[in-house]
Amino acid sequence: MVRTSPFHGGNPGSTPGRVTMIESFIKILISIPLITAALFSTLLIIRLWNTQIDTSQTIRMWFGTQLSLSSWIITRDTNSIYQNGRLIGKVEESPIVKDNRITFPRIRYVSFMDEKQVIEYQRFKCDKVKVNETERIEGMESVSWYKNLECEIINNSD
């Protein structure tokens, strides 16, 4: 009785470990899409973990309205300030973090901010907001800034 190996096609008399050219071609043909899918999914996972997700808005979107295929997950701009899930300003200059306070030298005004409510910047939540100065420049396009906005960090979820 001739024993066959499951690793070489099971043909009696063939040499174990010997792979034909056609078999190699088929294996390569099958491997290419699998490798491509693995690389694509790895890149997708890396992108997912490097993106800041707006959890409250995403949950509201999932359960509050009809689901749209184009926007399953809502992300936040890392250089913006939010209040109650709404964009209120774009950070123009790097903020200064000292102890449990953040000072924003210059924030481009986008919409009204309630100084009595919590604001969010990246993974920080801040309270006791104090706007030291505002500036408005009139021209072709009116631009307003909050200058030297200070707040106290109440939560850092990093």
Average pLDDT of every residue of the chain: 77
Buried b (16+ CB within 10 A) or exposed e, 59-94: eebeeeeeeeeeeeebebeeebbbbeeeebbebeee
Return the pLDDT at 39: 92
Closest CA to 129 of 141, 120, 138, 137: 120
Looking at residue 20, its amino acid is T
Looking at residue 72, its amino acid is W
CA 73 – CA 58 distance, rounded (Å): 6
What does the pLDDT look like over 75-95, one tens digit per residue? 778 888 888 888 888 998 888
Predicted confidence (pLDDT) at residue 45 exceeds the cutoff of 80: yes
User: CA of 37: how far to CAs of 32, 127, 145, in Å?
Assistant: 9, 45, 46
What does the pLDDT look like over 50-64, one tens digit per residue? 877 777 777 777 776
- Phi, then psi, of 57 in degrees rounded to 5: -70, -35
Lowest mean pLDDT among 2-6, 92-96, 99-103, 123-127: 2-6
Instruction: Quickly list DSSP for the chain.
Output: -----TTTTT-TTPPTT---HHHHHHHHHHHHHHHHHHHHHHHHHHHHHTSPB-HHHHHHHHHHSPPPTT-SS-B--TTEEEETTEEEEEE-S--EEETTEEEEEEEEE-S---TTS-EEETTEEEEEEE--EEEEE-SSS-EEEEEEEEEEEEEE--
